[in-house]
Amino acid sequence: MIDLIVELSRYVFIILIAMYTFLCFSVLRKKDQEAINHGWKVQILIIFLIHLLAFGIIFIQSWQTEILIFYLLQVFLLQAVLVFTRLIYPQINRLVLNNMCFLLAVGFVILTRLNFDKAVRQFQIAAGALLLSLVVPVLIRKCAFLQRIPWLYGIAGLLLLLAVTFVGEEDSGANLSLVLGDFSFQPTEVVKLTFVFFVAARLAGSTEFKDVVLTTVLAALHVLVLVFSTDLGGALLFFVTYLVMLYVATKKKLYFLSGLGAGVAAAFVGYQLFYHVRVRVLAWTDPFSVIENEGYQIAQSLFAIGTGGWLGMGLGQGMPNKIPVVEEDFVFSAISEEMGGIFAICLILICMSCFIMFINIAMQIKKSFYKYTALGFGTLYGFQVFLTIGGAIRFIPSTGVTLPLVSYGGSSIVSSVIMFAIIQGMYLLKEDEELEIEKERERAARQRAKARKAKKAEAEEKQSGTGRTGAGQQKRRKAEREQHKPKQGRREEKP
């Protein structure tokens, strides 16, 4: 019976996520607000159906009460996020909100399947991050001083990276984490946020050559510190994000081409200097020749994706735990193996819809600082998804970057949730700008109408005054004629 349910679920999962993915793009083309709202409601229903079906399968495979309680807590959290976010911010971007909840739900499902303890830890951190995220949009909306402190962002971020370089804990050949007692976090995830704010504030202030040089120097220091920490995935993220923001702000191809050249040169130097990098390149170029050592991780990832096929093995039926650090770097491979290639492709498309919405918001904002900030976060998110999935499918060398909102990682989940909340704040600013423009148009229309009315009244008054003046002149002329008229009757009375 369990096998039958799992078998049927493979098709149900694909149908549901295909419907959700279709709605992600179809609502962007609709103009009817009622139809759009209906699409949002259907998406929410699909999220909870996929979540229910997945946890139902996990529960009947283990019959552990903890699974059932954990499921109910997740339902409460997701429902609370959807309700309270829309209650506090009625104009919120519903697609970004729904996609965030969908990706969180998929992450909770796959992590529960892979490692229950890590899933619980992820849930706890996500709950705290989601609670914090409720105040982020209003801060973005109201705090105008955010664009006036670029050097605070830049220096604070650089100091955090230096701290992890010198006293950080090594993980997979890179210094990534700071450990404080039982608590550890990855400063790189926090610095992603400060880095984008720094670059956006500087470029919004000035794009003159000397200012661009100063901004580039501090941005390059961020990248170099990450390189010497051997966190090359993070360094690549920062580099590409800065290059895109710089090009959009200045519109100078020379800067972009120079940056690309510097990036290629840095990649070559990094390959020569760091054994960690050479190992990953070797595993990427020919993983099966070194399958016992360097190529084991990527080889197992490819085996998992190939085994899953288009429809997947079924939730709980694969062997994704054979992939080292599958919960973090290779969670996409686990999803592909058990949920199927079609499900995985739809997941990529959902991430793409997030990226498109981020960029769309950036292009519609008028104020430069907020435009560049939204653009930076859109680039950061899109490129991070590319690095994670590209590494899992052997399109590029593995970089150790997580899949936002899905992969395991406390620091990653916090920064990703906050990033989505910041984007929501940018969307609210865009709505405020559009509302202000509409009000300005209405004021201008009222002023024009008032001016026309005054002009018409003046013309009528002038015309009326002219008429009265003409009648008076006629009366005066008539009186004068009467005075000069001969008095014939009096002459006849004389003898």
Q: Tens digits of per-residue pLDDT, 465-476? A: 655 555 555 556
Q: What is the pTM of this model?
A: 0.87
- Find out whether 131 and 80 touch, Cβ atoms under 8 Å: no
Q: Span 51-76, mean pLDDT?
A: 94
Mean pLDDT of 167-183: 64
Give per-residue pLDDT as tens, 382-412. 999 999 999 999 898 888 889 999 999 888 9
Angstrom distance (rounded) from CA 222 to CA 162:
9
Banded model confidence at residue 273, pLDDT cuts 50, 70, 90: confident
The answer, yes or no, to whether residue 490 has pLDDT greater than 60, is: no
